[in-house]
Structure 1
Amino acid sequence: MNFKGRLVRWNEERGFGFIKSDSVDEDIFIHISALKNMNRRPVVGDLIYFELAADKNGRKKAVRASIEGVVANVSSPGRRQSFMGSKVFIYVLFAGLVVSGYVIQASSFHFGDLFSTRLNSEPVFQTQPAERNNVNFKCEGKQYCRQMTSCDEALFYLRHCPDVKIDGDGDGIPCESQHC
């Protein structure tokens, strides 16, 4: 049900006031949020149209209010924000498409080169001749990659020494993640 009354007190800093109505016994609390979309803030003496509701303590308060003679804004702030949100969304979407297109382009170029140059060519790893730099190494009981100092030493141990644990995948390439 709609009521009307005069704004008798208004606290501008805190955004609330009180309405005196002939239809209601006591002054009715009104918060600025009840006057959404008004072109101006209320002033004492304004005629206010409102609906009544109870706050959490059971006191009467004005809701869905308007000021007589003041036209409400045509576009609501929520609508403007939605429009701005949609603009931002479009820019973000466009940027995402550009970045993903670049990533796909770059990765297909990289993998395309990899496959086209490697399929019909020799293996990437070419083993060194067995006797290269063997003069500097001796079987001294080393078993693990962390004990080796170079790829040449690891190759020597793999080919010439017993009980080494330096070729985990058995492909003939020792210490792949450290030295070779």
Structure 2
Amino acid sequence: MFTEGKIKSYITERGFGFIAIEGESKDLFFHIKDFPNKSVEPKIGENLKFRIVEDNGKLKADQIVRLDLKQNIADLEAHPPQRSYANHNASPQFNKRRPKDGIFTIVGLIIIAVLAVLVYNKYQDYRQAQQLKAQQFMQQQAQIVEQQREALGDLPDRVLSEQGQKNLDSPSSQSLKTEVINVAANTQAQVTTSQFKCDGRQHCSQMNSRAEAEWFVQHCPDNKMDGDGDKIPCENDSRW
């Protein structure tokens, strides 16, 4: 048989409380596990319908029915709240604009992609142009070096072949040969002297060649290789 009563007390932390029954002096124990809907916490004064059962020698409420909660659910089922369609009907123009916004977004993404491709292509063209300029510069440098080598190595032979051979038996052949020898000597001096530098050496015994000694006498101060001051160094050196 079901009995009705009201919740008199409830301890949330421990999950139990007591029910006051009209006409009874002693309150009845209940536990939250016996509630059909445990998600809604019991409230003091809430009307319940239940059976009184014995558990371990003590009486407690079982098969609890929450009358107030059941009544609230019944009221909601009888009078459901009306949905508001204000967001859908208040501004129909807003709803019409939404597809356009999507189209604008797609168009914007397409434009960004096209610009990215153009910028990338420009960058690639710039890199290719820079590489081409670098290759051309390297080729020009190689040609200049080759021309310099040919000029230094072939100049005496060319002068001899173009002028000396034609006038080999003429009275001026001797002067032409002398000129060729001087050109070759100057050319050789330009090549070799670029390897020398004043590094503090002063004596003939420190020189590696007569050309080096002559260069030191002409360009480096405080040397001791030209004792008589005639600009001819190391005259008594038997190595040369």
TM-score interval, normalised by the smaller of the two chains? 0.3 to 0.5
Larger-gyration structure (1/2) = 2
Of Structure 1 and Structure 2, which has the larger fraction of its residues in strand? 1
TM-score by length of 1: 0.36
Q: Which has the higher contact order (CA 8 A, sep 6+)?
A: 1
- Relative to its length, the structure with more helix (as a share) is 2
